Structure 1
Amino acid sequence: MSRYSLLLLVTLLSLASPSQGQAEEVAGKVGYMSGTLVAQRTDGTIKVLGPKSEVLAGDMLITAKDSYAQVLMNDGAKMTLRPHSNLKIESYQFRKEEPKADNAVFRLLKGGFRTITGLIGKRGDPDAYKLRAASATIGIRGTDFTSRLCATQGCQDENGASAKQIVKPPIVQSPVIGRVMLIQGALIAKEESGKSRKLTLGAPVYEGDVLTTGKQSHAVVAFRDEGRVSLQENTVFHVEKFKYDKAASQESAVLRLIKGGVRVVSGWIGRVNHDNYQLKVSSATIGIRGTKYGAWCYGPCVTGALEGVGVEVTEGEVVLVAPGGSMAVAAGMAAAIAIDTGKPVPIVKVPAGALDNKVPLPESVPVDMKEQFGAEAGTGEPGLYVTVHDGHVILVQGDNKIDLGRGETGFTNEQVLSRLTATPVFMGNDNAQINSESSNNSPNPTVNQTGCVVK
């Protein structure tokens, strides 16, 4: 931006800003920046900001064309504004010794930014941190997310970089492969990284998750291919592999029952190619033929033995395969692994724990697949887009809300509130630039300490 353009911007903002004569407290400071960042203060003054400049509660932060700026808030939050963005800090209060008094409310009026949240909303009131935009509010639950307010179709006239500079990544399907549709008691998911998270109603499930129910607890999980599973109490269930993408013609599922009992309604995976679906129990495997069935792993099975492994079919057919042989189990039949031979054998009496439990049948729980797993990304109509990189956010419009987990994108305008099946291309156009700046807190050598650009 030229000195003349910068002076004109400051002059216009000054004319449009009424003087309020009220001092606001320092909320944070500017970290890395590239280009031009100005703050419109509550007292009517305009401040051109540079690295280490103070940011105040009440400030309207404005980035110019081709400009990025990182703001480091006092509670540890990091916000990186993209070009042509207006972000107002409506209120901000953080005292180390007063967690209950925490408060942070931001309003996005134009453009977008990426946020890694700090202590506000984590240590006291979970509703203390909010982002408002148009007719929606974003509630934060300790997360990393990108928000973008598009005034035009696909944000086409709002990209700070030129079309030649933009590298358009492919639209990637959401990594959410399942969602909790019913829960009683405790349900924990352990990720492949070793991180554990407590699941609530509507919480997402990812490939690699190990789901564990506690005592007197049960849950029903719906999967992206329209399959469902009920988890009994004291059950450990591993989603080892799950791929379902109609557009890419990908479908495969490898599930493992480590302990306890499940009832399953199979979905689209495996209906055409039966080998694409497997449920493993100890060293036995259950292959399906489009069906409803229950499986259990009790007693010795929990330590890896075949004893205590069984299946009972209510609709369709399964094939129970063990090292000692295989057996087709049709509707109305049950089978277990014989202790002496290791072969599947028919049984008349099903273990009491497999039948006498409080968990509902999975098919009895209603699931709106479009609501739970998203509407098509469409053509990028104007509105607010929110993509979650880690943690989760709650996107609220009036009396309606959706809970977005890692890898999911939500969209809202005055008429619509929806979860998208995939993230629109324009949400990733400048992620590389934002990520680079978010990890670099050193001052930009092309910007002096007053915030003026050095040409």
Structure 2
Amino acid sequence: MKHPLTAMITASSSVPRWALCLLMMLAAAIPNAARAQQPAGQVQHLQGMATAQQPGAAARFIAAGDSIAEGDVITTTEKGYAVVAFTDGTKITLRPATTFAVERYAHNEGTEAGLMRLIKGGMRAVTGLINKINPGALQFRASTATIGIRGTSFDARLCNEDCRSEDRAAQSRPPPAAVLASDLVVARLIKVSGDVTAQQEGKPVRHLLEGAPLYMGDALQTGPDATALVGFRDQSRLAVNPQTLVRINGFSYSSARQPNNFALQLLHGGLRMFTGLIAKAQPQAVSVRTLVATIGIRGTGMDISCEGPCADGAGTGEGASPAPALLAAGDGLFMHTWLGLTFLDGGGSSVDVPLDAVGFVGADRMPRLLAALPEFMNSFKVPRPDMESVDWDALFGAQAYSGEDGLYLFVRDGHVFLETANGRRDFGVGEAGFVGGDNLPRRLAPPVPRFLSDDPFPIPELFVSGDKRILQLFGATLGQPGQEICRL
């Protein structure tokens, strides 16, 4: 329900303009309840007009520099937008005709939490310290779903005919140059136990939870007591032991831009691998590299342990190798084939490792078969990945944009999920999703709808207040609150 002041402004066609100006001046004189509270943030930029309202209080017009407090409901007009900066570094761009509520906000040591609600319209957001300190403590909700975030940058729109109109209008323009491809997400975590992280070279470490996306170049690491089950787009699966580091050096599946490819690098630790559709069609396109040897695939399941010379290059390669009965986990690369066929290639020689056989490569980098499976290879903490049930549609299923009314989401960075009473879907960089009338969260197949990919309103983390390049967009006005109706 609109508050009385907003209702009067909406009905401006029947009120003299001088009366509207007087109304605005009276509104400015009303005691500001938000000033008595600890500020949650402030309006960094305002184009056009906007109001904020505390529960039980009259609405107040806001301007750049004004404080925003817990409990405020912010409303932008159809010809305006606002950029709001919160004290923890969270920034939000509120599009025209948007209503947005700061229902809960705490940014004090030990009490970090936030609950924001998108009631109408659309927003572009980047999260700050609350979510970094306490992942999951900051939530965004809409009428149909909860938007869960893990430290990220995303857009959300509650859509009806406005989005469809924008999408139709955008079709006449060239596509934006920097639209992200949704196939950037190459894998997701199906199960997580303990501290599991991923890192791209030169970028911050990401702490991963169930559903988290993985990308080409990611180095996935498990802590001392942590395990992970990973599902790839081609339905390959990895069960990763504690204290393991594995990097995704290459992955491409059913891409029009490049051939199928699946290349892992096991830097140390242990994993169990069950290959998928790439290995069935093109086994030569799948490999696992270590420091002492490359593992080739024939469409299979295998256990791999890489320690000692396999991980750190220790040893000169001279002298006799240890007796098979005395080999232990730290002596090199061990591989047990429990389904199909694999081979070990040490560079100078290779050896096939058939079903139920065990291959070994030590400091001498000479692949060979062992007479028996070492005992430690029977004690992997993670189960065989082919024994785990996987909902592949939930991980990677997508459908084309149909123009349906509902909540739409686009992820620019990080990990986001949409959750309703009927299900959950996880999203990574470049992916879009929606929740429609059936209250089921779904992933959208590329291309991303143009009303999301062509959004002209500022991305909050890139916004610079006072930038002269800020344009008049979709009829949004420039200047101070009330300027467009108080110019007599």
Provide the TM-score with structure 2 as the length reference: 0.77
Q: Which residue of 2 aligns with 1:310?
A: 334
1:91-130 pair list within 5 angstroms = 91-94=103-106, 96=108, 100=111, 104-120=114-130, 129-130=138-139
Q: Deviations over 1:27-85 (max 9, x none)?
A: 54332344x232264678666554335556433412425x44312234432111234x3
Q: Which residue of 1 aligns with 2:12?
A: 11
Q: Which residue of 2 aligns with 1:232?
A: 241
Q: Report if the CA contact (8 A) 1:232-1:357 is conserved.
A: yes
Q: Which residue of 1 aligns with 2:157?
A: 148
Within 2, Cα distance between the matches of 1:24 and 1:122?
Answer: 30
Question: Paired residue for 2:145, among 117, 133, 136?
Answer: 136
Structure number with higher strand proportion: 1
Question: Paired residue for 1:400, among 423, 427, 431?
Answer: 423
Within 2, Cα distance between the matches of 1:167 and 1:182?
Answer: 37
* Percent identity for Structure 1 against Structure 2: 31
Question: Paired residue for 1:219, among 228, 247, 268?
Answer: 228
1:318-357 pair list within 5 angstroms = 318-337=342-361, 342-357=365-380
Q: Report if the CA contact (8 A) 1:68-1:434 is conserved.
A: no
Within 2, Cα distance between the matches of 1:166 and 1:13?
Answer: 42
Q: Report if the CA contact (8 A) 1:13-1:46 is conserved.
A: no
Q: Which residue of 1 aligns with 2:4?
A: none
Q: Deviations over 1:131-173 (max 9, x none)?
A: 2222212234433211111114x92225698765674566722
- Aligned CA distance change for structure 1 residues 24 and 326 (closer, same or farther; 3 Å): same
1:155-194 pair list within 5 angstroms = 155-158=163-166, 167-168=175-176, 172-194=181-203
Question: May I ask how many residue pairs the two structures share in their alignment?
Answer: 438
Q: Which residue of 2 aligns with 1:4?
A: none
**Farther-moved stretch of structure 1 (285-294 vs 237-246):** 237-246
What CA RMSD, in Å, does the superposition of the two structures yield over aligned residues?
3.7
Within 2, Cα distance between the matches of 1:79 and 1:205?
Answer: 26
Deviation at 1:222, TM superposition (A): 1.2
Find the residue that maps to 1:156 and give its secondary structure.
helix
Counterpart check, 1:62 vs 2:76: yes
Counterpart check, 1:89 vs 2:101: yes
Within 1, Cα distance between the matches of 2:360 and 2:113?
Answer: 58
Within 1, Cα distance between the matches of 2:133 and 2:297?
Answer: 47
Q: Which residue of 1 aligns with 2:322?
A: none
Within 2, Cα distance between the matches of 1:127 and 1:93?
Answer: 13
Deviation at 1:186, TM superposition (A): 3.2
Within 2, Cα distance between the matches of 1:103 and 1:303?
Answer: 43
Find the residue that maps to 2:12 and give its secondary structure.
helix
Letter in 2 for 1:266: T
**Farther-moved stretch of structure 1 (355-364 vs 442-451):** 442-451
Q: Report if the CA contact (8 A) 2:115-2:140 is conserved.
A: yes
Deviation at 1:282, TM superposition (A): 1.2
Within 2, Cα distance between the matches of 1:94 and 1:260?
Answer: 41
Q: Deviations over 1:397-429 (max 9, x none)?
A: 126333434443332123121234546232543
Q: Which runs of 5+ in 2 are unaligned?
A: 1-7, 21-26, 318-330, 471-476
Find the residue that maps to 1:279 and give its secondary structure.
strand
Question: Paired residue for 2:381, among 358, 379, 384?
Answer: 358
Q: Report if the CA contact (8 A) 2:126-2:154 is conserved.
A: yes
Within 1, Cα distance between the matches of 2:462 and 2:422?
Answer: 34
Q: Report if the CA contact (8 A) 2:420-2:441 is conserved.
A: yes
- Aligned CA distance change for structure 1 residues 144 and 278 (closer, same or farther; 3 Å): same
Deviation at 1:231, TM superposition (A): 1.7
Q: Report if the CA contact (8 A) 2:292-2:310 is conserved.
A: no
Find the residue that maps to 1:79 and give its secondary structure.
strand
Deviation at 1:117, TM superposition (A): 2.4
Q: Report if the CA contact (8 A) 2:408-2:432 is conserved.
A: yes
Question: Paired residue for 2:43, among 20, 25, 30?
Answer: 30
Within 2, Cα distance between the matches of 1:165 and 1:216?
Answer: 52
Q: Report if the CA contact (8 A) 1:63-1:81 is conserved.
A: no
Q: Which residue of 1 aligns with 2:320?
A: none
Within 1, Cα distance between the matches of 2:74 and 2:167?
Answer: 20
Q: Which residue of 2 aligns with 1:3?
A: none
Deviation at 1:250, TM superposition (A): 3.8
Within 2, Cα distance between the matches of 1:88 and 1:139?
Answer: 17
Deviation at 1:320, TM superposition (A): 1.7
Counterpart check, 1:197 vs 2:215: no
Question: Paired residue for 1:442, among 435, 448, 466?
Answer: 466
Q: Report if the CA contact (8 A) 1:174-1:421 is conserved.
A: no
1:222-301 pair list within 5 angstroms = 222-246=231-255, 248=257, 250-301=259-310
Q: Report if the CA contact (8 A) 1:50-1:447 is conserved.
A: no
Deviation at 1:360, TM superposition (A): 0.1
Q: Report if the CA contact (8 A) 1:70-1:438 is conserved.
A: no
Deviation at 1:339, TM superposition (A): 5.7
Deviation at 1:253, TM superposition (A): 1.5
Deviation at 1:226, TM superposition (A): 0.2
Counterpart check, 1:391 vs 2:414: yes
Q: Report if the CA contact (8 A) 1:262-1:294 is conserved.
A: yes
Within 2, Cα distance between the matches of 1:9 and 1:427?
Answer: 26
**Farther-moved stretch of structure 1 (416-425 vs 295-304):** 416-425
Q: Which runs of 5+ in 1 are unaligned?
A: 1-6
Find the residue that maps to 2:182 and give its secondary structure.
coil
